[in-house]
Structure 1
Amino acid sequence: MKHLRSATLVFWAAALPLAACSQAPALTTFPVGATTVTVSALATNLNTVWELVWGPDNYIWMTERYGRISRVDPATGQVQALLTLPDVTPTGESGLLGLALHPQFAISPYVYVVYNYTASGALREKLVRYTYSAAAGTLTAPLVLLGNIDATTSHSGSRLLVLADGTLLMTTGDAQQQPQAQNTASLNGKILRLNLDGSIPANNSIAGSPVYTFGHRNPQGLVQLPDGSLYSSEHGPANDDEINKIEPGRNYGWPNVEGYCNLAAEATFCAANNVREPLTTWTPTIAPAGLTYYNHPAIPDWRGGLLLAVLKNATLLHLPLAAGGQAVGTSTGYLSTFGRLRAICVSPQGKVYLGTSNRDGRGAPVATDDRILVLENRAYVPSAARAENKPAFDIFPNPARRQATVRLPVVATHLAISDLAGHVVRTLQPAGLETELDLNGLRAGTYLVQVESHAGRATRKLVLE
């Protein structure tokens, strides 16, 4: 794996940032077990926040449905607008949707977005890769990796996720063409898997096809756990919103099955078509959206569970995982006063960031909407709380010359090499349990290798000869 170079980040643009040197005022607090979680606003006056991704540059990457892609400074709330897409069609539920970053971002500064556009008078969907320039603060050189997917003003998906194996998942809705969800020749109603250059992985379930799973109605949440398990959230019709455990090649039933295989016709279809039942469902529907995994000591009662942003019911749900991740326990709801919640991400410090979606035509926006909310345990002391949760890792050879290998116990969220003065000289986002460090260009001496994962943070010395 190639190394990543750190970049000097300069620039800032609008959206009512909060003061850099003061703690944002609390909007509310709520208990999670014995922990008090404080809610504050990081950025305001946004428009239908669709995606929030914690980047390897330690900034939040954001999409807004009308077409703007931005970076948000988590320390100040400053929003740096990078690009407003020139051909996006933000009508109804369509527009700019999911975003993902290349796992070796500093040497391959690629930003992947999925959005709706109009071609020959018809609404379509495409996956596009942009190249980011930190110096210029721009996204340029758009490359369409997958396009001309049928779309409507609803049921377009679409969430993006880079897996630990370095491939990219993209969810698509059925575009109101329900039978296409069962048609593996169609890209609608699917979770698709591509290589990061847009090619089709050789080990996909259907040879030569990007289809990874099928039988989906409108999946809008997607997350991979450190053990490799995949989960998605999916909108049902007037019943049976779902949380699914995603397994390659499986059929998820739609439109022949709504929720569980609990009707006679559904049971027959499920038995004949390799249908994977959901882990849990909601009737009446709640409109589940962004999904993430929380395993940080800052909020202990959320550890090892899923967090789900909910639109219709305007809540944040904690979903505990049980039976080795094969079941979801009883959910608990939080935050009922901020309106529709769509986007969610977690920082390495255990803070949860939520994007509201009150300007999407279905909410009741207040003057400061839409917002990025921060949920945090302000009493948490990282150094003390993490002392017993340091992820042990190995570096070999050590001393090293041109390269070294880092062996990790779990997939890390971030890895950095710094000199003894604290200057970061290499950063990367590991994609597996073994990561090669390219040490070419570094002077001989002693360096610190720091690894962050959901288990905590650990540092080891590396001697370069």
Structure 2
Amino acid sequence: MKRIYWLLLVVFIVACSSENVEETGDKFQSIVAELRAPWDIEHSESTFYISERAGSIVSWQEGEGKERLPVQTDRDILQRGEGGLLGLRLHPDFATNARAFAYHTYEENGAIQNRVIVLEKQSDTWKEVDVILEGIPGARFHNGGRLEVGPDEKLYVTTGDALQESIAQDRGQLAGKILRMNLDGSVPADNPSEGSHVYSYGHRNPQGIAWSDSGEMFASEHGPDAHDEINQIKAGENYGWPDAVGENHGDSVMAPIFQTGDNTWAPSGIVVHDDRLFIATLRGTALRTLLFSGEDPQVVTNSYGRIRDVEKIDDEVYFITNNTDGRGNPADGDDKLVRFSP
């Protein structure tokens, strides 16, 4: 009887853990397999579009199978370290203009940089048709790369510090920032600084952006030696890097709503669903959730390895694994697009 008692007690304690795994097998379904180091999920009508770092976009819809098309850019896509074809965001009028915004790494005169461009989907390729912004400092690591169109119909772009820590505090530089622009790349009149794309600064390597239904903006960010952050983003604010890390924030710096302490999540894409943030984590090898207040972190599933991006469509959540990027342990069929039905 004592053995049964202690077994039940252990089960109860695990069930009450602040990072309880809530996975139920029949809630998860792998719907696309054999993706190649995917980075971003997009969706229009009944079709998914997934960027792959080497320079291709996979499209898939139920009953049709997947199609992989190359991305044709005016400057060669550089897949080195964490670089390559990263963020993808369909234009709000994609259904009629077949256009999308993309973020990719390239090399010029020996220097690694990043750029935001407009692609147009054609019969056999995605072709660059316009440049939104280029010359964003890049490096082998810390390129940022997330693109989102906000509730204000502005384009937001995350950029990493390009392995130059101090650059994140320089508001005259585009690296280590969250940028905000009109859909044609021009600077909005209500940006924090006149003539500047910089919306917030002091970021190390932000890779996710999402908004609550009430318009609050959140971002995920990789920290140094753990201390990853989830931040609420406000216009013109300083998020501290490299001067402030974890709980070490003064009055002039925005503190994160949540930081991982000595644990490493390496958070990437985020999305809002059911009044919670859903967070794709790479080294944390899990899909997690967090309240907007920064409380109650939960693990939804830790059965798929590295997770790069997460998206909400109707009442379901979709995520992509990232086990084929050289840092994971690929299983059969990796990488995958997985559907989660809460």
TM beyond 0.5 = yes
Q: In 2, distance between residues paired with 1:72 and 1:117?
A: 27
Q: In 1, distance between residues paired with 2:238 and 2:203?
A: 8
Q: How many residues align?
A: 320
Maintained 8 Å contact 1:340/1:363:
yes
> What are the Cα deviations for residues 75-122 of structure 1, in whole angstroms up to 9, with x where unaligned?
237222233345111111111111111212234432000010111122
Q: How far off its partner does 1:335 sit?
A: 1.9
> What are the Cα deviations for residues 177-236 of structure 1, in whole angstroms up to 9, with x where unaligned?
000000000000000011101111111101000000000000011112222111011000
Quote the residue 2:57 is aligned against.
69
2:46 maps to a residue whose letter is N
Quote the residue 2:196 is aligned against.
209
Quote the residue 1:335 is aligned against.
301
2:43 maps to a residue whose letter is W
Equivalent position to 1:356, from 287, 306, 321: 321
1:65 maps to a residue whose letter is R
Matched, 1:233 2:220: yes
Quote the residue 2:15 is aligned against.
none
Distance 1:232 1:77, change over 3 A: farther
Matched, 1:292 2:271: yes
Quote the residue 2:341 is aligned against.
376
Unmatched segments (≥5 aa) in structure 1: 1-29, 295-302, 322-326, 378-465
User: SS in structure 2 opposite 1:69?
Assistant: strand
Q: In 1, distance between residues paired with 2:331 and 2:22?
A: 27
Q: In 1, distance between residues paired with 2:58 and 2:329?
A: 24
1:367 maps to a residue whose letter is D
1:229-268 → structure 2 map (5 Å cutoff): 229-261=216-248, 266=249
Q: In 1, distance between residues paired with 2:64 and 2:283?
A: 27
1:308 maps to a residue whose letter is I
2:284 maps to a residue whose letter is N
Q: How far off its partner does 1:137 sit?
A: 5.6
Maintained 8 Å contact 1:43/1:77:
no
> What are the Cα deviations for residues 32-70 of structure 1, in whole angstroms up to 9, with x where unaligned?
59x875212111111111001222x23222111111122
Matched, 1:309 2:298: no
Q: In 1, distance between residues paired with 2:270 and 2:104?
A: 19
When normalised by structure 1's length, the TM-score is: 0.66
Identity fraction in percent: 35
Maintained 8 Å contact 2:118/2:130:
yes
User: SS in structure 2 opposite 1:181?
Assistant: helix
Q: How far off its partner does 1:334 sit?
A: 2.7
> What are the Cα deviations for residues 343-371 of structure 1, in whole angstroms up to 9, with x where unaligned?
111111x2211101101111011231111
1:233 maps to a residue whose letter is S
Equivalent position to 1:97, from 76, 86, 93: 86
> What are the Cα deviations for residues 402-449 of structure 1, in whole angstroms up to 9, with x where unaligned?
xxxxxxxxxxxxxxxxxxxxxxxxxxxxxxxxxxxxxxxxxxxxxxxx
Quote the residue 1:186 is aligned against.
173
Q: In 2, distance between residues paired with 1:253 and 1:358?
A: 31
User: SS in structure 1 opposite 2:94?
Assistant: coil
Q: In 2, distance between residues paired with 1:37 and 1:215?
A: 42
Maintained 8 Å contact 2:41/2:310:
yes
User: SS in structure 2 opposite 1:106?
Assistant: helix
Q: In 1, distance between residues paired with 2:236 and 2:21?
A: 41
Q: How far off its partner does 1:336 sit?
A: 1.9
Structure 1's consecutive aligned runs of 4 or more residues displaced over 6 angstroms after TM superposition are none
Q: In 1, distance between residues paired with 2:335 and 2:72?
A: 19
User: SS in structure 1 opposite 2:291?
Assistant: strand
Quote the residue 2:16 is aligned against.
none
Maintained 8 Å contact 1:42/1:77:
no
Unmatched segments (≥5 aa) in structure 2: 1-19
Quote the residue 2:184 is aligned against.
197
Quote the residue 2:131 is aligned against.
144
1:278 maps to a residue whose letter is P
When normalised by structure 2's length, the TM-score is: 0.89
Maintained 8 Å contact 1:288/1:309:
yes
Which piece of structure 1 moves more, 328-337 or 110-119?
A: 328-337
Q: In 2, distance between residues paired with 1:158 and 1:260?
A: 26
Maintained 8 Å contact 1:31/1:37:
no
Quote the residue 1:408 is aligned against.
none
Matched, 1:59 2:47: yes
Matched, 1:280 2:258: yes
Q: In 1, distance between residues paired with 2:267 and 2:64?
A: 26
Matched, 1:84 2:71: yes
Distance 1:31 1:316, change over 3 A: closer
CA RMSD for the aligned pairs?
Answer: 1.9
Maintained 8 Å contact 1:42/1:76:
no
Q: In 1, distance between residues paired with 2:141 and 2:268?
A: 14
> What are the Cα deviations for residues 10-49 of structure 1, in whole angstroms up to 9, with x where unaligned?
xxxxxxxxxxxxxxxxxxxx9859x875212111111111
Maintained 8 Å contact 2:71/2:127:
no
User: SS in structure 1 opposite 2:329?
Assistant: coil
Maintained 8 Å contact 1:231/1:246:
yes
Maintained 8 Å contact 2:53/2:79:
yes
Which piece of structure 1 moves more, 136-145 or 187-196?
A: 136-145
2:275 maps to a residue whose letter is G
Maintained 8 Å contact 1:310/1:316:
yes
